Amino acid sequence: HKRYTGLIEFYRDRLPVSANTRIISLGEGNTPLIELHNIPRIIGKDVKIYVKFEGLNPTGSFKDRGMTMAVTKAVEAGSQAIICASTGNTSASAAAYAARAGIKAFVIIPEGKIALGKLAQTLMYNAKIIQISGNFDQGMELVKQVAELAPVTIVNSINPFRIEGQKTAAFEIVDELGFAPDYHCLPVGNAGNITAYWRGYSEYARYSASHSAVTRNVPIMCGYQAAGAAPFVVGHPVENPETLATAIRIGNPQSWDLAWQAQKESGGWFAKFTDEEILAAQKLLSQQEGVFCEPASATSLAGAIHDINAGKIPEGSTIVCTLTGNGIKDPDIAMQQCADTQPVTISADLDAVKRAILDNL
Ligand code: F0G
């Protein structure tokens, strides 16, 4: 029995590290693949839906998979500082791994548009936070420009090591199921993750073709976006993206061509869903399955349910939805979601407590 010490150690033979590489890890990866027991019954469809709960990574999102690789390689190359633009999760992850490595992190975030938990954790990890009065896409352009002028390594998903780390989520799914799912659904923002999953599945298919353990090949990739920030659905960048799912409030995705490649090669599609549909899926998942993800993450389930109901994803299918981030990152949205179910306040006496229970059974 070997102790789990993070995804680089676990998938070392399929990642760009050498025996001498100092690995910067917080034990990321190895996240649960949870089969939904109630939602398939509620929607009345014969499907197997699994959620890959990436919110259980060390900083609460899938970004940690990419960040362990990106920071490991930045440190290996002698870098003393990293930088990213972020809607909140990349910044939190970059800050944590920089703290772990003993280097500096600079993060550029859109002022007032990142969830409270993400801001709090990034502050705690002691990153230098630069807020701009602009959106993620503007921040991303500034990062690319400033990295030419200052000694900082970009750790956004345009850094190829980010994609390398993130592809391991697909490895874990195939390892656990014993095959690739029929459909893989995920929220798409900057489009690094759909790129990474497609690479992971494709590499695994080639790997298993020569090792013969795995039967099914690769999934159909379904990329889901928020209606107000859906460049892949409208077919061109969106100037002023808007959505309550602030993690995916992105109009000019950096991995544009690679995401289209994933769609084309897998025979998949892009679709968009309203904030109302996204929030409904977030609440359904919490209340019916006990899995609390952040709003952006619920886009994958909103899309899956829609496409199952529409028959686009047929009955009998095995579907994996990536839940990219943890629900507790965005307490403001959670409180709004539950505005009509606030706690009851009573006196601290046994009778009152007993009544509160009996009245609500
Ligand atoms: N879900 C969450 C919770 C995210 O934070 C992001 C991206 C995505 C989905 C979309 O993934 O960009 O690879 O298509 N967040 C980035 C950030 C942009 O700065 O934290 P993607």
Give the pLDDT of residue 342.
83
Give per-10-residue mean pLDDT for the chain (361 aa): 94 97 98 98 98 99 99 98 98 99 98 98 98 98 98 98 98 97 98 98 87 73 98 98 98 98 98 98 98 99 98 98 98 97 92 95 93
88 lines ligand 1 (CB under 6 A): yes
Is the separation of the CB atoms in 196 and 204 below 8 Å? no
309 annotated binding-site participant: no
Q: What's the rounded Cα separation, in Å, for the pair 145 and 31? A: 35
322 lines ligand 1 (CB under 6 A): no
231 lines ligand 1 (CB under 6 A): no
191 annotated binding-site participant: yes
Distance 262 CA to ligand 1 centre (A): 17
Ligand 1, atom 15, residue with closest C-alpha = 247
193 lines ligand 1 (CB under 6 A): yes
Ligand 1, atom 10, residue with closest C-alpha = 189
Residue 211 has a CB neighbour count (10 Å cut-off) of 9
Is the separation of the CB atoms in 28 and 68 below 8 Å? yes
> What six digits make up the tokens of 302?
């909103």
User: Which atom of ligand 1 is nearest the CA belonging to 86?
Assistant: 19
What is the DSSP annotation of 302-345? Answer: HHHHHHHHTTSS-TT-EEEEEE-BBGGG-HHHHHHHTTTSPPP-
User: Which atom of ligand 1 is nearest the CA belonging to 85?
Assistant: 19
Residue 112 has a CB neighbour count (10 Å cut-off) of 9
Give the pLDDT of residue 280.
98
Give the pLDDT of residue 215.
54
For the chain, list the domains and their CATH numbers: 7-60+162-337 (3.40.50.1100), 63-159 (3.40.50.1100)
Distance 347 CA to ligand 1 centre (A): 44
pTM of the full structure: 0.97
Classified as helix, coil or strand, 27 is coil
